[in-house]
Amino acid sequence: MILPRIMILLFFQLLLIMCTFVKANLDYNNNNYIPKIIHQTWKTFNIPIKLKQYQETLINVHKNKGWEYRLWDDILLNNFVIQHCPSISKINYKIKIQFIDAARYCILYHIGGIFIDLDYQALRPLDSILDIYNNDYDTILTIEPPNHAKTFNVDFIASNAIMFSKKKSLFFKKLIDTLPLAQKYMLLSSSSMEKTFNIHQKENIVMHTTGPLFLTHFTKLFLCNTDIDVNRIMYLSATCDYIDNNNDNNNMVHIIMNPTYFSSKSLFTENGTLIEGARCEKLMMEEANNIKKTNININDNTVIAMHHWCGTWWDK
C-alpha cells in the first residue's frame, strides 16, 4: 500500500510542475507579458566574424531557458514591414539605417519581445529584467552611458540598441505613427536631406528621425501624456516631470535608468571626446586587458551584456 501511495504522490507533484511550466510559457506568449523572443537584424544570414562572436554569446546564455531566437535579414525585414507597417514602407528614407531602426519598432509592436543589436556581448540571461519589470510595464527601455547625454547636452538618451516590449503596446503604435512626421520635419529643416551629406550630417539625421534622440524625445512626451498628438510631435516639448512619472508603476513605459545593465561602456569622455579604441573592440573574454578597457567587472551580477559599439552604418 505504501508504494502505490508514493507513486500517486509523485505523479501529482510531477503534474503540478508541468502545469506551472506550461502556465509560465503561456504567460510569456500572450499579450499580457513580454514574450521571450530575441530579435536581431543583419543584411544577410552570413554574419561577419566580429559580430558572430557576440551573437553566439547571446544564443549560448539563453540555451534551454525557454527563449526563441530570430535573426532577420534585409529580405525578411522588408517583407515584414511591407505587410505589417505600410506607413514605414512609404517613407523615402535616404539612409538605410533609418529603415532598420523603424523596422525594429515595427517588429516589437506586432510580435513583441526583445530587440538587441548584434554588437552586444551577453554575459547573463535577460530573464532577470523580465522578472524585475515585466508585470508592470508594456515597454521597457534602457539608456546610453551618461557621457553620451552630456555630449548631446540632454539629461539622458534612451537607447534603441536594446528594447523590451509586449505585443501591440500603445507606446510603439504611437511611435510608429510618428515616424513619417519626424522625417517630414527633418526634410523641412535640413536641405542636406536632398543632397550628398557628410558623416556628421548623416548621424544628425539618423539620430533625430529614427535613432536614440528621436526615441528620447518621443519617450519624454509619452511619459507626460500617452494621448499625445502625433501630428505635432516634433513641435512639442515635455512639460511634466517625466523622471518622476517614469517611476510610476501605472505607466505603460519604463526607462531603466541604471546604465550598468547594458550600456556601461561609453564612446565619449565627460568632455565629449571620442575615446580611442572605444568602437568595436575585439572579443577576448580570456584576456584581462579587454575587461580593463571596458571598465566592466564581469563578476558583477548586475552586468547583463556589454555594448561594443560596432556601429557598422557609421562608416558607410
Is 315 part of any domain? no
User: For the chain, how are helix, strand and coil distributed in percent, rounded to 5?
Assistant: 45, 10, 40
Residue 280 confidence (pLDDT) above 90: no
Q: Does position 134 have pLDDT exceeding 70, yes or no?
A: no
DSSP letter at 282 equals -
In a domain, 281, yes or no: yes
Which of 71-85, 220-234, 271-285 shows the highest mean pLDDT?
Answer: 71-85
Q: How far apart are CA 246 and CA 243, in angstroms?
A: 5
The CA distance from 225 to 195, in Å, is 36
Residue 91 is classified by DSSP as S
Q: How confident is the model at residue 151 (pLDDT cuts 50, 70, 90)?
A: confident
Residue with cell 529643416: 189
Distance, in Å, from the CA atom of 97 to the CA atom of 95, rounded to the nearest integer, reads 6
Q: Give the max Cα distance, the chain.
A: 87
Cβ contacts of 106 within 8 Å, gap of 6 or more:
80, 81, 84, 85, 88, 176
* Kind of pairing between the strands at 68-72 and 37-41: parallel
How long a stretch of residues is the chain?
316
pTM given for the model: 0.82
Q: Does residue 10 fall inside a structural domain?
A: no
Tell me, yes or no, whether 45 lies in a domain. Answer: yes
Task: Please state the domain count of the chain.
Answer: 1
Would 23 be classed as within a structural domain? no
What does the DSSP 8-state code read for residue 274? B
Cα separations in angstroms, 183 against 56, 84, 233, 234, 260: 35, 19, 12, 10, 32
| 257 pLDDT more than 50 | yes
- Relative to beta strand 37-41, strand 253-256 is unpaired
Sheet of strand 253-256, all strands in order from the earlier edge strand to the far edge? 68-72, 37-41, 113-116, 158-165, 139-143, 253-256
pLDDT for the residue numbered 194: 47
Is residue 91 in a domain? Answer: yes
From the list 126, 102, 130, the residue with the least C-alpha distance to 116 is: 126
Mean pLDDT of all residues in the chain?
A: 81
- The grid cell for 254 is 519604463
What residues make up the domain containing 56?
Answer: 36-307
21 lies in a domain? no
Question: 64-114: per-residue pLDDT in tens?
Answer: 999 999 999 999 999 999 999 999 999 999 899 999 999 999 999 999 999
Name the pLDDT band for 131 (thresholds 50, 70, 90). confident
d(C-alpha 220, C-alpha 284), whole Å: 38
240 within a domain of the structure (yes/no) = yes
Report whether 38 contacts 126 (CB < 8 A).
yes
Query: Measured in Å, how far apart are the chain's first and last C-alpha atoms?
Result: 76
